[in-house]
Structure 1
Amino acid sequence: MRRSVAALVLLWISFIHLHFTQGSAIIDHHTPYWEQPFSQPYFENSTKRDTTTTVGQTAYLHCRVRNLGDRAVSWIRKRDLHILTVGILTYTNDQRFQSLHSDGSDEWTLKISSPQTRDSGVYECQVSTEPKISSAFRLSVVVSKAKILANPELYIKSGSDINLTCIVLQTPEPPSFIYWYHGNHVINYSQRGGISVVTEKQPRTSRLLISRAHANDSGNYTCSPSSSDSASVMVHVLNGEHPAAMQHGNSGGATTAVAVSLSLLTSSLLTGQLLRGVTR
């Protein structure tokens, strides 16, 4: 009986020893906490990796790192391996680049102010582990442009309506505003009656309607969205004496108007010559 009890005790001691021996292969109590496998930094993959912005519109690249510990996070420009930021410090003479981070947060954000097309490319969020780990983010900086759906010159008969439609191309976000100009004056809120401006964020369009146009409505009309290049057309409001020159979106408008003018000039010259002949 005593031998059986002793055997059980020895078996139990062996089991306990084996358990702790195996456990030490997983958790080494002599290894610092931050060097143990389960505490290694890693990237949270739910962050957006592709960002598109327009020229001049601030861009943000968001990198989230879990279990960072005492490691440092750096932002690297991939094309020339230039270090932009380390921690919250900027390591480049280009002060448009800035690292944003709040204490206790896992997020390290690269802010790029007034981006230009040359800033397009891949940026790496890098953690100073051994070996280093990194995550790539792609930035596309595009030139947003306005386009008026009309010919560069329009000929409108007096009393008709001026109807212009402007669309904004290559913009990731709808413009915060779209202004229409007649010459140098904003006409969105003009005191002249009969002017209507309808702007839609989707599909990023603005329509200008001027009813019963008269000669004073002639001139340059410009569609100017926020953060986009503007577009212009020249509108001629004619009194109706040259019907052939009236064009409504026809590409031959300018050519027809010139042809009419030349025809009138030729007729005047011929008439002058005839009158001189009669006088003689």
Structure 2
Amino acid sequence: MNVVEPKTEVEGGPDMYINEGSTINLTCVVENSPDPAPVINWSHNKETISFDSPRGGISLVTEKGSTTTSKLLIQKAVVKDSGIYACEPFNMTASSVRVHILDGEHQAAMHHAHGSSVSPTIITALITLTVLHWYRMGWI
């Protein structure tokens, strides 16, 4: 007999970086559940998310089946929306992701930090394609 354990995962983790003012879009996938997960709760920093909170702009879309997905959408992200979000299916293991909301100053720092990580192979390919294009256009 082969027993398959249910698996819960928040896609995009363990860390997600979202620009301030953007929509936070978190997707929780529950696989191998003997029955569709009856209830999937979401929490932010260990507090259950209330869809009636004064913050507003929070919605949830859940699709049940052999694989159940739950999408948490939080519009107009602000820095205080940063933290750990957990997807907690009833009677199953939870999964979490740490969300970082980047204000204007941090966006520039993140862009600069990632700018140096471009593969030399990609740069070489882009330069080669540019030169070939110029050659075909008769510019060189």
After TM superposition, the score normalised by the length of structure 1 is 0.37
Shift of 1:190: 4.6
Q: Which of 6, 16, 20 is the equivalent residue of 1:158?
A: 20
In the other structure, the counterpart of 1:176 is 38
Contact 1:179 1:188 in 2 (8 A): no
CA distance in 2, matches of 1:214, 1:189: 17
Give the letter for the 1:206 counterpart.
S
* SS class of match (1:150): coil
In the other structure, the counterpart of 1:228 is 92
Larger radius of gyration: 1
In the other structure, the counterpart of 2:103 is 239
In the other structure, the counterpart of 1:145 is 7
Residues 7-18 of structure 1: pairs in structure 2 closer than 5 A: none
* SS class of match (1:241): helix
Question: Are residues 1:201 and 2:57 paired?
Answer: no
Shift of 1:225: 0.5
Task: Call closer, same or farther: CA 1:200–1:177 in 2, change over 3 Å.
Answer: same
Shift of 1:189: 2.9
Contact 1:145 1:170 in 2 (8 A): yes
Shift of 1:141: 4.3
Residues 95-174 of structure 1: pairs in structure 2 closer than 5 A: 121=1, 141-174=3-36
Shift of 1:243: 2.3
CA distance in 1, matches of 2:81, 2:52: 12
In the other structure, the counterpart of 2:133 is none
* Cα displacement string for residues 55-107 of structure 1 (whole angstroms, at most 9, x for unaligned residues): xxxxxxxxxxxxxxxxxxxxxxxxxxxxxxxxxxxxxxxxxxxxxxxxxxxxx
Show structure 1 runs of 4+ deviating over 4 A. none
After TM superposition, the score normalised by the length of structure 2 is 0.71
Give the letter for the 2:33 counterpart.
T
* Cα displacement string for residues 142-197 of structure 1 (whole angstroms, at most 9, x for unaligned residues): 42121111131111111111001111011121011000100111115350200001
Give the letter for the 1:177 counterpart.
V
CA distance in 2, matches of 1:190, 1:149: 25
Query: In the comparison of the two structures, how many residue pairs are matched?
Result: 111
Query: Percent identity between the aligned chains?
Result: 45
Question: Are residues 1:212 and 2:72 paired?
Answer: no
Where structure 1 has 5 or more consecutive residues not aligned to the other structure, the ranges are 1-120, 122-139, 247-254, 260-280
Contact 2:51 2:59 in 1 (8 A): no
